Structure 1
């Protein structure tokens, strides 16, 4: 089952890559080939580390990409660099090159590639964020320098609701010792966050308040939030069926994967989260930040299938003995939460 899943993942990613790159096939065949190779490899490397804490570490992405596909990735990068040297006026090519270098841990090269892309599309908020983050990762201590901070502020000006931009600006302010400014930036972000994310951010705000010599936050300073999904997200509640839990002995180290995939489409997820069994019941929000593939995001779909899987092995791939909730099909955007019950008999 695992091998078949990976084959389907690769084929689906290849199809998406070919579709995205199709306009380049005639005029820039080398760039077309590089994109078709790199997008599936990047997607596969990201999927292999879905949901693990190490997935937040760029070095983990680099290790996964290097271990699996280094020769093919390196050749694709070489082809893409040659094409961009021939015709540098291809911002999406530069963006892809930046992502590929970042995945392999080549932070300085990623920084330069994103900067080249910005020369052609300077007002793209997501590109500005990627470029700023790449600059920080190329610096000692992952510091956002003045140019990176200017990119973040520009991204926020173009897209005032961009949560990543606000978060990173607060990080940059903390790095500069501007703790009170970071508090103001992050507290303004709180009302837009789900409950779990807001709770994590409040910890950072408390530390910033202490560093700034400010009093602890009051209830008025930190508005209460719940797990209401944003327009592009999907609120999901996960629980165990009581009868199932009573008759089955569950391993303490078992994990739960919550997955959304395209309805009637390929089996790989467009959003996924990994949680410990003891965290149940869950009340979470799946959104574009949970996507393992840059070319397939939850917000781009009209209908998805959502399920929760209990995995004794802890593997993201479905294995023998895994228990899944009945699949729920959801039309997006969804105003009501999706309830998933693991071990509940299918209707």
Structure 2
């Protein structure tokens, strides 16, 4: 039985990866290519597994016991669940498969069974809520779907998908102010592209709610104002080359040393005030706005290199949450 599950699992795994990678295409105007690409990836995963999923595939004739199509795989999965109906993961897999085939009512029923068996699995709850809305003729999130989403958010507060769908459900109910607040809480965790798309939805929700336009400024990408100076006693005895540089660095607390924002300045510019934002991120996939908390410090580099060298002097590290009001003072050579 397990062999018949694996190609279908591979198909759904590929589809899940596609869902993550292609999520920016989910806007209503681009929904058709989004769905087509995700389903295509799922079918490709199914086919790839069928060819290379077992080491013997290259030397043996195809196993005729494996399903030839995704629909056949669904039929085998249904037979397996009839024998072992307490498998929540099996019902969730069946729901994903039925969605890929466009069987929305069947997908909804399968997910409902999965939630019944695993009521505290955030991913299952979110997928089940979305399947329930898709199966509804008006594509609305009813009270049950919204309850599942809120429970998923309680179990996994950092889950972006649950928050996004809760905002949609609230807008469908005319609760535009609550939807805007829900989406705004997601912004610090989103990549710039996704955050930009969400801000457009927030603007619409705020307008519908009659909120003042000035409040929209809170949805701007986080930036961090920093002042940098030398401790007087340290400056009095400082002897460094004329081309020494000062780096202002923000990085993830407890994470890799690669900064999420950095600026380089001449020592002669001190004291100075700078503003770090996404434009200062050396890696587009890890911008400053993607992190709710950073640690920031300044480095005096005699060599002019950002990587720490012998003789470099760092200011004490300051840990801040974003957005942060007011400049963060950094003093090089201070206590």
TM-score (norm 1): 0.52
2:284 aligned partner: 283
1:108 corresponds to 2:105: yes
Shift of 1:194: 2.5
Question: For 2:5, which of 11, 35, 44 is the aligned residue?
Answer: 35
1:152 corresponds to 2:149: yes
- Answer whether contact 1:194 1:229 (CA < 8 A) is retained: no
SS in 2 for 1:36: helix
Shift of 1:88: 0.5
- Answer whether contact 1:179 1:212 (CA < 8 A) is retained: yes
Query: How many equivalent residue pairs?
Result: 213
1:83 aligned partner: 80
- Answer whether contact 1:98 1:114 (CA < 8 A) is retained: yes
Q: Aligned in 2, Cα 1:134/1:230: closer, same or farther, shift over 3 Å?
A: farther
Question: For 1:58, which of 35, 58, 63 is the aligned residue?
Answer: 35
Q: What CA deviation, in whole Å up to 9, does each residue of 1:53-76 have, x standing for no partner?
A: 467743554466679869421121
Report the Cα distance in structure 1 between the residues aligned to 2:159 and 2:152, rounded to whole angstroms. Answer: 8
RMSD over aligned Cα, in angstroms?
Answer: 3.7
Report the Cα distance in structure 2 between the residues aligned to 1:219 and 1:176, rounded to whole angstroms. Answer: 22
Report the Cα distance in structure 1 between the residues aligned to 2:284 and 2:161, rounded to whole angstroms. Answer: 22
Shift of 1:106: 1.3
Q: Which runs of 5+ in 2 are unaligned?
A: 48-66, 224-249, 261-281, 288-335
| Structure 1 segment 1-347 matched on structure 2, within 5 A | 30=1, 32-43=2-13, 51=22, 53=25, 57-58=34-35, 60-62=37-39, 71-218=68-215, 221-225=218-222, 283-285=284-286
- Answer whether contact 1:35 1:96 (CA < 8 A) is retained: no
Q: Name which structure has the greater RCO, CA cutoff 8 Å, separation 6+.
A: 1
TM-score (norm 2): 0.54
SS in 2 for 1:283: coil
